[in-house]
Structure 1
Amino acid sequence: MIRLVTRTRLARLAAGADAARARTCEVQGQADAAYSSHIREVFALTARAEAAEKDAATADLGARLLQSVLEDTSTELTQAREELAAMARRLEELSEPPVDASVVLLLYYGEPHSIHPDKPTAYAYAATLGAPLNGWRLADERPAAAVTWRCVPFIYDAARDHFRSVAAPAVAPSGGAA
């Protein structure tokens, strides 16, 4: 069957084809714009991802460096604490007088002259000042001012945390006096 196409119909078909071409060009333009926008967004996201990876690597390196410094500082702090504890123990040992601590006060005409760790040292020192080395006797009833040289021994009283004379009795203060 043969179909005859009239001029009007042909003009309508040509107008439809032109409209379809125009619509195709319009849709193609929108697709190209969307594609180029998509490509720009991909490039921007890729750049941001690379920058974030670089920042993460830098932060990781910084964190490792800080961790290393923290470990070194922690080690130094531990050593310093151990040294400080050792010093505190040593200071405590040195500040506590021994239980059997004793000293000798050397008097010259009743006035304190010097303190010595024991009697032989006090006798030797007095000998350098002219006192006879073997002329020492036990203290008698004479006042200390009447004797040229006299040794008075003292011992450490741990209960009261002070030294007291061996010759004087340990008496508690009367009347609440301290």
Structure 2
Amino acid sequence: MIRIVTRARLNSLEQQAEDARARAWEMEAAANTAADSHAHTARSLTTQLDTVQHAADVARAEARRLEVALGSAESGLTAARETLAKQAQQIKALQGDLDTVLGAVVLLNYGRLVSVHPTGEAARRHAESLGCPVTGWGPGSGRPASEVEWRTVLLSRFAVEDGGGAG
């Protein structure tokens, strides 16, 4: 079958082909622009994903470091609590010792420390065993300890007022 095409028809077909090529180029340009835009968006999203993953890795590492630090702090706290409990027991024991010592007296001979006793009576008995006379014990008349042959003084006052008996 042969078809006869007129010049007007041929011109029309050529114009339609030219229009189709122009639309194809426009569509190709739009497709390229869209592809470039999508590629740029994909690269941007990939970069953002990498940044977020890096931040997550850093956060996980920091969380692990903080877990270790917390464990160490908890161990230190436990040790400190144990030490505190031991020190509280020691303080109680020392308070008991202090209560005992507060009533203690020292026996002085001319201001020099001879002995320490739980009571003044015990100190006098010891002084008597060393040849001190049974009578004549008194407050010392305000004289320095170095001028009194035998004297008893509370241990707490001896340490503070007499400077440890160096008098």
How high is the TM-score relative to the length of structure 1? 0.61
CA–CA distance in structure 1, aligned partners of residues 36 and 102 of structure 2: 100
Deviation at 1:20, TM superposition (A): 0.4
Structure ranking higher in strand proportion: 1
Deviation at 1:125, TM superposition (A): 4.8
Deviation at 1:79, TM superposition (A): 0.6
CA–CA distance in structure 1, aligned partners of residues 126 and 12 of structure 2: 144
Structure ranking higher in helix proportion: 2
Deviation at 1:97, TM superposition (A): 6.2
Structure 1 unaligned regions, length at least 5: 108-113, 137-146, 153-178
Q: Which residue of 1 aligns with 2:118?
A: 117
The higher-RCO structure (CA 8 Å, 6+ apart) is: 2
Q: Is the 8 A contact 1:104 1:117 kept in 2?
A: yes
How high is the TM-score relative to the length of structure 2? 0.64
Q: Which amino acid aligns with 2:67?
A: Q
Higher mean C-alpha displacement, 119-128 vs 8-17: 119-128
Q: Which amino acid aligns with 1:43?
A: R
Measured against aligned partners, the alpha-carbon deviations of 1:44-93 in whole angstroms (never above 9, x if no partner) come to: 11111111111111111111111111111110111111111111122123
Q: Which amino acid aligns with 2:136?
A: T
- Name the CA shift for 1:120/1:96 in 2 (closer, same or farther; >3 Å): closer
Q: Does the alignment pair 1:149 with 2:150?
A: no
Identical positions, percent: 33
Q: Which amino acid aligns with 2:117?
A: H
Deviation at 1:2, TM superposition (A): 2.0
Q: Which amino acid aligns with 2:40?
A: R
Residues 22-33 of structure 1: pairs in structure 2 closer than 5 A: 22-33=22-33
The alignment yields a C-alpha RMSD, in angstroms, of 3.5
